[in-house]
Structure formats: C-alpha cells, structure tokens
Structure 1
Amino acid sequence: MSKETETNNSHRQGRRGSGFGPPGMGMPVQKAKDFKGTLKRLAGYLKPYKFQLLAVLATAIISTIFAIVSPKIMGKATTRLFEGLMMKMRGVPGAEIDFDYIGHIILILIGLYVLSAAFSYLMQYMMAGVAQKTVYNLRKEVEEKLNRLPLKYFDSRTHGEILSRAVNDVDNISNTLQQSMTQLITSVVTIIGVIIMMLSISPLMTLIVIVTLPLSVVAIANIAKKSQKHFMGQQKSLGTLNGHVEEMYTGHKISKVFGYERKSLEKFEEMNEELYQSAWKAQFISGLIMPIMMFINNIGYVLVSAVGGILVMKKAIEIGDIQAFIQYTRQFSQPVAQTAQIANIIQSTIASAERVFEILDETEEVPEAASPRSISDVEGDVSFNHVSFGYKENEILIEDMNIHVRSGQKVAIVGPTGAGKTTLINLLMRFYDVNSGEILIDGVNIASMKRSDLRSLFGMVLQDTWLFNSTIRENIAYGRERASETEIVAAAKAANADHFIRTLPDGYDTILNEEASNISQGQKQLLTIARAVLADPAILILDEATSSVDTRTEVHIQKAMDRLMEDRTSFVIAHRLSTIRDADMILVMDHGKVIEQGTHVELLEKGSFYADLYNSQFTGKSKNVG
C-alpha cells in the first residue's frame, strides 16, 4: 500500500472507536519495562495533592483503628456474659447477667462502627477528588500532546491503539487511584493494627497466625504467576477481537457486497475461541486464591481455638479474648489477600501508565519559529524550491522538486497511485516538514509561519468527506468561527446545496449520523464545498470530489467547485483527467518526481507519459491513476 493511500485511509478511519471491552478489563499485554521509574513519575502527578493524601491517610488510620478496637471491646461483653451464665449454673446466690454493662458495651460498639463508617466515607470522598483531579490533568496532558504530534505518528499507528492508550489505560490508572489506593492504605493499617491487638491478647496465638502467613503468600504468589500469562493472553485476544468487530461494523456494507460474512464469522469464531481459552483459564486459576486462602485460614482457626482453649483453662486469657482473637484472625487474612491482589493491579496500572507516558514522550512536531512570520494580504503565489522529502530518512520519495505557481492559477496534479500527489499536499499544508529545500507562499517560507496561521490560508474539499455527528448548519459553520445564519445560507446557495437542505425534514437543523449516511454522497460533497465557500480561503486544495457520484450530481458539484476556484490559487488532485483540461498548469508526477509540466494541450503534443495516461482512460488500458 502506498504512503498516500495509508494517509487517506487514516482520514477515513478518523471517527472509529477504540473497542468494545470495558476499560481496564483483564491484564495488560506486557509488564512495565521500568517499574520504579514509571511509579516515581506517576507519583509526581499526586504531588500537588500531598496534603489531601495526608488527610486520606489520617482518616484511613482513624477509621481502621475504630474498626480494630471493636472486637476486643466486644470480647469484654462476651466475657461478662459468660461469667454471669457460669455463676448462675453453679448456683451462686444473687448471680445474674450484667445486662447494663453489656448494653453499655453495645452502645460503645455502635458508636465506634458509626465513626469508622463516617471516616471511611470521608476517606473515599477525598480520594475520589484527588484521583479524578490527577486523571483530569493526565488526560489534559495527553490531549494537548496528541495535538502537538506530527501526522506521521498517527500514520504509523492504528487509531484503536492510540485511543486505547488515551482512554482505556488512563481509565485503568483512574480506577486504581480511586479504589486500590484506599484499599492498600486500609489493608496495611489493618495488618499492623491487628498484629498489635493480637499481641496484646496472646503472643503465642499471634505467632501461630503469623506462621500461617508465609503459606498464604507462597500460595498466592504461585497462583498469580500462573494466571499472569493467561491474563496477558486474554487482553491480547480481547484487543484483536475488538479490532475485528470494529472493522466489520464500520465496513459492514463492503463485507456484504464482497460476500465476506462467512469468512468474517469464521475469523470471529477463531478469535473468540482464543479469548475464551485465555479468559476461563485466567479467571479459574485466579479464582483459586480465595479457596486456598480460606483453607489455610481455617487451619489457623483450628490451631487458635485449640491453643486458646488451653490458655483459658489455665486462666492465661479470658473467654472473650478467644472470640476477639478469632475476629482479628479473620480481619488479618482479608487485608493480606487484598494486598496481594492490589500488588497485581498496581503492576497492571504501572504498565498502563508506561504506555500513556510513551505518548507523552513522543517526538513532537518541529517547534514553531521563535519569531513567526505572517501574511496579511495573501496573493496566493506558491513555490517549491529544491524540495526533498522522504517518510523515512533513508528512503527519499521527493528529490529536488521545483514548482512555481502564480496567484489565481489552477494547478492539476496527476499521476499513478503512489506517485506522491497527496505527499505534495501534505508538505504544502505542513503536515510533514521537508528534509531540505523550502516552500514559499508569497515569498514567505512556510517553515517560518505558525502552523495554525498557515493552514488558515487553505480550504480543502477531499474525495473523503469530513462531516461530523452534528447539524448541517454546524457542519457548514465549521468553515469559519462565529459565522452568521445569513453567511451559512449564502455559502450553501453558492455550493448548490441550499435546495436539497431545505427539502430535508429539519432543514439546516438536520442532524447527520456518525457516518453521515443519512444523506447521499453527492450531498455530502456539496456540504464540504459550502464549508470551503464559507471559509473563503486564499488557496484551495481539491481532491476531485466527483469520482463516486452520478453524472447529474457531478455537474452540480463541478459548477460549485468552478465557482469556488474563481480568482483563487487552486491545487486539484485529478483522477479523471477529462475534468482538468482547462487547468493553467498540469503537474505529472511519478515516483515522487514531477516528470512533466505544462497545459493539457502542450502535454498531449509531447506525446509522452501524460498523453499515455490520458489516452489510457479512453482505451480501457488504465495506468491506475489514483
């Protein structure tokens, strides 16, 4: 596929989505290459919120402390209840259960749990603010970076890949900051606090619980290691499947026309089977974590109960302490499991952050000139002086190109597919910078101008229509900011579009769908011409817009384009050579070089490449003009 065809394809794919899977689903395709460096860089985004994070930490500690001390206080109520029952059973005179004490304890517990929940809510509230502000800044940075990246970055990557990094990976970071960070804080505080409380009850029983901990860690680590490769396969298969589904839905008409449904379904089944195999293995293996944890914990419970019973009999501890200790054992095992899972999530998040930072570290467009020049009264003289260019440094496509176009001239660019026609336009618009030489507009080097100022000089009507999911009025008004209703209607009339717009049910308020398929191809082109009329550019670029419409519509479009080109410098990429016979200059390109230059009559008289190209369109022996 030629480079210019790839560029055109990228324009056609501009509005495609990034996929259908939920953000952050599964594991990333690869681990972070530089875990520490990426983690440090990500932490830098949290630095402006250090006081809020300290407040989050404080509320987490307070909430957890209230939750931790509760079992020991409850144990006192259990002990008092047990003692009262035992004395009554022994027939001690005046023995009774101290319900007042127990009621007092219950009120204290209710207060502690309410305070714990309140501080937990406050923690989540503050962390939500920190997480969303951090991700907002990161998204903003990515958005601004994408606007500064050169066209070659987007040409060399799929739109799905770029959107996946800008949307899914950023969402993955957001979810981790919002949920996993608070879970990690509370888990660590809980583990430390529970160990302290268990030690205060019985160092011996605490030792038993801690001895079972390495078994849990080893079990979780082994399971996580085995599930990792399946999660990686799941995410890879999901990305492949998303790409296929997206491609088939956006091109469903073409797949039906060429009878590709069966092959598409077979391909889908194959990809879906791969995703199924990876997904069920990943989910099944990772699902073993909790049962194994519960098994190991139950062994701990048995040992704690046995040793605790012996200690009670020896009056080393009270009966309520065993109940409190068992609760602490349960509280201890849950944050340990959570910490292990969060470690896996953080690994995934750092990999996502690394992918986002790769975008932020991409080489940007050549910086704007320190003292940019501008053109006040544009005449439209264009010159290419000794221009050389290649998409790759070692593969020069255009070499020593020299073109001089006078103001108001209509210049047609013709040649076979891959000749470099679109490349020439990309250089003129400064989507790419030349390797050497210079391009001048009215004697001003475009490299010395701001890109926005340069591109404001041009109006474009392309073979692929650029319309948006909005009203017809807004699509036309895209040509000029703050255009009035009168100006919009006048532009539509000049483009022969006003009549068909008024026949639509909602007229200028008709909303175009995402692919603008609710109007015809010819109507789309008339709207893009109306947009160019409204923009009133000094220089026009026309990628012949009549190749996919009927003869009658072509006449209307051609008239609108001729009206638009009056007294303007125009560059026309020609596919039908019969439409550019009246051009002031025809540039014949092949393999990145202008091999012939002149008027239609002059080039036919030469009887060379252009004459062969022109005659081939009428003899049926096409030279693949595109």
Structure 2
Amino acid sequence: MKMARRFLIMAKKHWGELALAIFGLLGATLMNLVTPEIVRRVTAYLSLPDTPQMRVILTYAAILAASYLLRAVFRFISMYVSHVAAWSFVGELTLRIYDKLQQLSLRYYQDKQTGQLMSRMINDSRQLEVLIAHALPDLISNLLVIFGVAVMIFLIDPLLALLTLIPVPFVLFSSVIFSKKVAPLFRINQEVLGDLNGAVQDNLSGMKEIQAFGKEENELHKMRRACRHYSYVNIHANFANAIFHPTVEFITSMGTVIVVAVGGWLAMQGRMSTADIIGFFMYLSLFYQPLAALARLVEDVQTAFAGGRRVFEVLDADIEIQDEPGAAPLGRVSGALEFRHVKFSYLPEEPVLEDVSFSVKAGEMIAIVGPTGVGKSTVVALTERFYDPQEGQILMDGRDIKNASVASVRGNISMVLQDIFLFNGTIAENIAYGVENASMDDIVRAAQAAFADEFIRQMPEGYETVVGERGVRLSGGQKQRISIARAILRDTPILILDEATSAVDTETEAQIQQAIDALAGTRTVIVIAHRLSTVMKADKILVLENGRIVEQGSHRELAAQNGLYAKLCRVQWGQSTGTPV
C-alpha cells in the first residue's frame, strides 16, 4: 500500500479527475442495485391475489430502463475520466523518468543496458495505467457493490445474509496467500522483459557486426533462449492464476449452494416469499461477482507494483553530479583551465588518475597523449564534470568548477569525440544542435570552417539531408567534420577533441587538422590523440602513464628527452632513432 500511496501523491494534480471517476463508480453501483429490487417487487406484485395492472408493470419497466440509461452514463464518466487521469499521469511519469535519467551521472550508466532503461521508462511506467484506470476503480467499485448488496440482503433476511458471508473469509485468506506467492513472479516477469528489451536493443545496434561476422544463427539461438525464458516466467506466473481463479469461483459458488438449501427450507417453512428468494438470488450474483473478480484485481495490482518498483529504482537513484548549495553560474570564461592534485577512480580498487596537476592558459592548445587506458579520456570527463574527482580541484579561470553550476561549466565547453553521435534529423539540425535559433548563414559558416560545406552541398538535399539514426548515411570522416562544425558554431571558450581523427583516412585527417589549426589561438583547445602527427603543433603536450603525468613540454622538447613520448613517436613513425621535428 505504501507504493500505491506514493503513486497517488505523485498524481495529486489528477485527484479531481479521480474523484469524478469515483462519483461515476458510485452512481453505477447504485444503478446496479436497482435491477434486483425491481424484479423482486414485480415478482411480489404478480403474486398478489388481485389482478395485476399493466400500468404498474410499465412503471417498473420505465424505472428499470432509466436505471440502465443512468448506469451507462455513470460508467462512461467513470471509465473515460479514469483513463484520462491514468494516461495523463503515465505520460508525466515517463517524462519524469526521462528527466531523472538526464540528471544521473555517467557512472550510473556503466552497468546499465539502454534497452533495460527503455523498458523501465516505457513498459514499466505503462503498467501504472492498469493500476489507476482499472485496478483501483474496480476495487472501489467492487467494495461499493459488496457494501450495497450486503445492506440489501440483510434487509431481506438477516439470517440468510449471514450464511452467505461464510465464503468471504476463505476468499480473503486465499487472496492474501496468492498475493504473497505471485508478487515475486510478476517482479521477475518485468525484469526478464527488461533483459529481453536490452538484448534486442543491443542486437539491433550491432546488426552490422552480426552480419559482418556471420553470427546471425548464433544470435538467433540466443534470442530464442531469451524468448523462451520470457515465455516460461509468464507461464509460471499464470499457473498460479490458473489455480487461484477457479478456487475463488468454487468458494463463492458454495454461497449460492447455501442460499439454495437454506433459502428453499425457509420458503417451505413460509418464512420467505418467492419474491424475496428471487431478489436474494439476484443480489447474490452481484455480491459474489466482485469477490470472484478479486483474483484478476490482485494480478493487475501485482503487475503494476512490479513495474512500479522498477520505476522507483530509477527515480530514487542518487544524483551524483548536481549543483552544490550556493553554486553560482560561471558566466563566459576566458578558457584558462587548471588541474590541482586530482585523483580519480571509477572503482575504489582501480585508481585511474593519481595526483594529476597541470594548467592551461586561455587560448593555448594542449595535447594529452599516452598508451591506451592511462586516463586521457578521464581528464576530459572530469573537465566536463561528468564525474567529480575523489581528491583535488579542477578550476576554470581560477574558480573550482565544483562550486559552479553544472550547466554553466558545460556551457563553456564543446566536445568532438571519436564516437560521434548524430541525431536522426537533418545535417543543419545536427550542426545547430548546441545553439538556440542559429541562422542558416551561421550554420554554413561553421560547416565551411570545418571543411564540411563542400560534401554537404553534394548531398541530395544539401543541408536538409536526413542523416539517419546515429548518422548512418554518412561516412566516419563526414560525421567528424559535422561534429567539428557543431562545436565551432557553439563558439565556447574551451574545445575538447577526443581522438577526433583516429578513425579517418589521411586526406580527411589533413582537412580536420586544418580546421583545428584555424581554431588555435581563438579558444583553449585540448586534444587527445594516439596519432601524434595531430599534436605536434600543440603549445604543451602532457604524457600520461599509469594515471600520472610523467612528461610535459612541446613536441621538440619531449622528443629531445628520449623518454616515453619519444618512444611513442619512434613506434608510430617506425624510426629507430630520432623523431620528426
């Protein structure tokens, strides 16, 4: 019930709609009680010794027809309004989950599959519609029916009414047992569905690799196992339902048996009229129907709660990177950057950076090089404040970025990564992604500066060409140049290039290098590269090894030291001695 209460609090703005839906339920319940009473009264009237009058019969028929019409109106109000409230809430909840996902740091995503998170945001939140629009209204409706019918049958015959209540404790007991047994099963269902979504998303994203390596049969076999497991857990959960539903129906049927036996005996003793017996039977069908429906309600509630738990796991996740109390915006910085004794690790037992210190003046170009896995990209991630260091400080224009608003820190930085992400929109939309209300002239100038204008104009729709999901219609070099154009258009004081030329050919690399050289001096540029030809013109080169800066200086200075940088140059250019200068 704590979870239901929490969801109801979250849906507070829809309480008015829910109240109207409950009003509809109350009206429909009252109208349901009219039919048995009318039939009872008509039966009693026809049993009188006097000749029945058609006018009386027609009056009862008119009342019955009016009750059916009103019941339809009340049911429409209840069903429509409850669905309006439910789907509005689901849409708001989905947006709330998405907003929370945007606030979580990259550390949260390290062990999460995209498909899993999509399942929580879409599938699990959708289960709340069942809770709000179906389970809770049905529960309220059924309780009202049970209460109303109980009042009517006690008015007809208290003794027989008490006897009809005998099955109720058994139904409630079996429902509690069923709920405890089935809740873990539905939770497993949602988890397995999330796993299946994750597997499908991975395979669709990696379809090129699957086909290139001829692994279609292998992946089909894995997907077949996943689908069978998903089918199995659903069948296992519904096996419990298959036992519970007939059990409840059998128990409630015993109430009818009691009425037939005891009611018949009372009628033979002259203590009940035929009209009362008929009315009692009709009320009884209304009384036991909600009890029998309890099985379905328990199933719906458990399914919704299973999804709700997974939703709250996201909503309750700690936001690691957020504004500190009193954090102020940085404003536009000059581009000066400093690391002071920074220490960082993704896992406690695996340090990535150890006592890293360096400074960059505004407008300088620095390069960070070193073997794979020494923490080069981690420096970038810390600068963007995707993570916070465990020790030390990172300063922009002399201000600790941890004491500045996250948005203002990131608003001063543009990034060009090795793995470029382009949205499924036009080239112009992707270039202008980081700038509000960019003009077409601005977009074209940025593309020209990135040496992208020529190939863009050669495309069928030019700047209005749709690039496809993740830019699938473009080559690696084209995506890189569009990414550089995006960074140029944003015009931030700090530009980070993380392996921006690692996956392109020599000609494209030369064009990208021209674009980078043109930016030198206009903003602070941080270059991370394995191709050392792209860092030779840097004002300062930092050499990382085992998470520490072991060398720093210009290309010429480091080449003369004959240390790690010189070794990397010799390995890359195939020289036994010396390095290009």
TM-score (norm 2): 0.90
- 611-620 vs 595-604, which moves further: 611-620
- 472-481 vs 398-407, which moves further: 398-407
Residue 129 of structure 1 and its aligned partner are, at CA, apart by 4.4
Q: Partner of 2:538: helix, strand, or coil? A: coil
Residue 366 of structure 2 contacts residue 541 of structure 2 at CA under 8 Å; is this kept in 1? Answer: yes
Matches within 5 A, 1:9-408: 36=2, 38-47=3-12, 52-81=17-46, 83=47, 98-132=53-87, 134-135=89-90, 138-222=93-177, 227-364=182-319, 365-368=321-324, 370=326, 372=328, 374-376=330-332, 378-392=333-347, 395-408=350-363
Measured at CA, do residues 366 and 489 of structure 1 come closer, stay the same or move farther in structure 2, by a change above 3 Å? closer
- 50-59 vs 467-476, which moves further: 50-59
State how far apart, in whole Å, the 1-side matches of 2:188 and 2:12 are.
35
Residue 289 of structure 1 and its aligned partner are, at CA, apart by 3.4
Residue from 551, 554, 563 that aligns with 2:509: 554
2:399 counterpart residue number: 444
Measured at CA, do residues 217 and 467 of structure 1 come closer, stay the same or move farther in structure 2, by a change above 3 Å? same
Residue 526 of structure 1 and its aligned partner are, at CA, apart by 1.7
Q: Partner of 1:581: helix, strand, or coil? A: coil
Q: Partner of 2:328: helix, strand, or coil? A: coil
State how far apart, in whole Å, the 2-side matches of 1:347 and 1:276 are.
18
State how far apart, in whole Å, the 1-side matches of 2:239 and 2:325 are.
58
Matches within 5 A, 1:582-621: 582-619=537-574
State how far apart, in whole Å, the 1-side matches of 2:240 and 2:95 are.
38
Matches within 5 A, 1:464-543: 464-543=419-498
Residue 369 of structure 1 contacts residue 447 of structure 1 at CA under 8 Å; is this kept in 2? Answer: no
Measured at CA, do residues 285 and 354 of structure 1 come closer, stay the same or move farther in structure 2, by a change above 3 Å? closer
Residue 224 of structure 1 contacts residue 286 of structure 1 at CA under 8 Å; is this kept in 2? Answer: no
State how far apart, in whole Å, the 2-side matches of 1:116 and 1:156 are.
52
Measured at CA, do residues 500 and 136 of structure 1 come closer, stay the same or move farther in structure 2, by a change above 3 Å? same
State how far apart, in whole Å, the 1-side matches of 2:489 and 2:60 are.
79
1:11 counterpart residue number: none
Residue 175 of structure 2 contacts residue 294 of structure 2 at CA under 8 Å; is this kept in 1? Answer: no
Aligned residue pair count: 575
Higher relative contact order (CA 8 A, sep 6+): 1
Residue 49 of structure 1 and its aligned partner are, at CA, apart by 5.2
Letter matched to residue 438 of structure 1: Q
- 241-250 vs 460-469, which moves further: 241-250
Measured at CA, do residues 594 and 554 of structure 1 come closer, stay the same or move farther in structure 2, by a change above 3 Å? same
Measured at CA, do residues 195 and 375 of structure 1 come closer, stay the same or move farther in structure 2, by a change above 3 Å? closer
Measured at CA, do residues 49 and 474 of structure 1 come closer, stay the same or move farther in structure 2, by a change above 3 Å? closer
2:579 counterpart residue number: none
Residue 295 of structure 1 and its aligned partner are, at CA, apart by 3.3
Residue 244 of structure 2 contacts residue 295 of structure 2 at CA under 8 Å; is this kept in 1? Answer: no
Q: Partner of 1:518: helix, strand, or coil? A: coil
Residue 72 of structure 1 contacts residue 321 of structure 1 at CA under 8 Å; is this kept in 2? Answer: no
1:413 counterpart residue number: 368
Show CA shifts across 1:455-481 (max 9, x none): 222221111112111111111111321
Measured at CA, do residues 549 and 286 of structure 1 come closer, stay the same or move farther in structure 2, by a change above 3 Å? same
Q: Partner of 1:419: helix, strand, or coil? A: coil
Show CA shifts across 1:221-266 (max 9, x none): 5555555554444333333222222211110111222232232222
Measured at CA, do residues 396 and 258 of structure 1 come closer, stay the same or move farther in structure 2, by a change above 3 Å? same
Measured at CA, do residues 52 and 264 of structure 1 come closer, stay the same or move farther in structure 2, by a change above 3 Å? closer
Structural RMSD (CA) = 2.9
Q: Which runs of 5+ in 1 are unaligned?
A: 1-34, 88-94, 622-626
Residue 330 of structure 2 contacts residue 408 of structure 2 at CA under 8 Å; is this kept in 1? Answer: yes
Q: Partner of 1:515: helix, strand, or coil? A: helix
Letter matched to residue 452 of structure 2: A
Residue 34 of structure 2 contacts residue 64 of structure 2 at CA under 8 Å; is this kept in 1? Answer: no
Measured at CA, do residues 265 and 130 of structure 1 come closer, stay the same or move farther in structure 2, by a change above 3 Å? closer
Residue 143 of structure 1 and its aligned partner are, at CA, apart by 4.2
Q: Partner of 1:384: helix, strand, or coil? A: strand
Measured at CA, do residues 225 and 362 of structure 1 come closer, stay the same or move farther in structure 2, by a change above 3 Å? closer
Show CA shifts across 1:159-213 (max 9, x none): 3343333333322223311221211110110111111112222233323322133
Residue 223 of structure 1 contacts residue 288 of structure 1 at CA under 8 Å; is this kept in 2? Answer: no
Dislocated runs of 4+, deviation >6 Å: none
Q: Partner of 1:479: helix, strand, or coil? A: coil
Q: Partner of 1:554: helix, strand, or coil? A: helix
- 529-538 vs 562-571, which moves further: 562-571
Residue 96 of structure 1 and its aligned partner are, at CA, apart by 5.6
Measured at CA, do residues 581 and 538 of structure 1 come closer, stay the same or move farther in structure 2, by a change above 3 Å? same
Identity of aligned residues (%): 38
Measured at CA, do residues 191 and 77 of structure 1 come closer, stay the same or move farther in structure 2, by a change above 3 Å? same
Letter matched to residue 325 of structure 1: F
State how far apart, in whole Å, the 1-side matches of 2:537 and 2:95 are.
49
Letter matched to residue 232 of structure 2: Q
Letter matched to residue 468 of structure 2: N
Q: Which runs of 5+ in 2 are unaligned?
A: 577-581
Q: Partner of 1:604: helix, strand, or coil? A: helix
Residue 336 of structure 2 contacts residue 397 of structure 2 at CA under 8 Å; is this kept in 1? Answer: yes
Residue 119 of structure 2 contacts residue 193 of structure 2 at CA under 8 Å; is this kept in 1? Answer: no
Letter matched to residue 240 of structure 1: D
Residue 124 of structure 2 contacts residue 190 of structure 2 at CA under 8 Å; is this kept in 1? Answer: no
Q: Partner of 1:175: helix, strand, or coil? A: helix
Measured at CA, do residues 294 and 430 of structure 1 come closer, stay the same or move farther in structure 2, by a change above 3 Å? closer
Residue 428 of structure 1 and its aligned partner are, at CA, apart by 1.2
Measured at CA, do residues 284 and 99 of structure 1 come closer, stay the same or move farther in structure 2, by a change above 3 Å? farther
State how far apart, in whole Å, the 2-side matches of 1:521 and 1:616 are.
26
State how far apart, in whole Å, the 1-side matches of 2:111 and 2:229 are.
27
1:17 counterpart residue number: none
State how far apart, in whole Å, the 2-side matches of 1:334 and 1:101 are.
31
1:12 counterpart residue number: none
Residue 340 of structure 2 contacts residue 393 of structure 2 at CA under 8 Å; is this kept in 1? Answer: yes
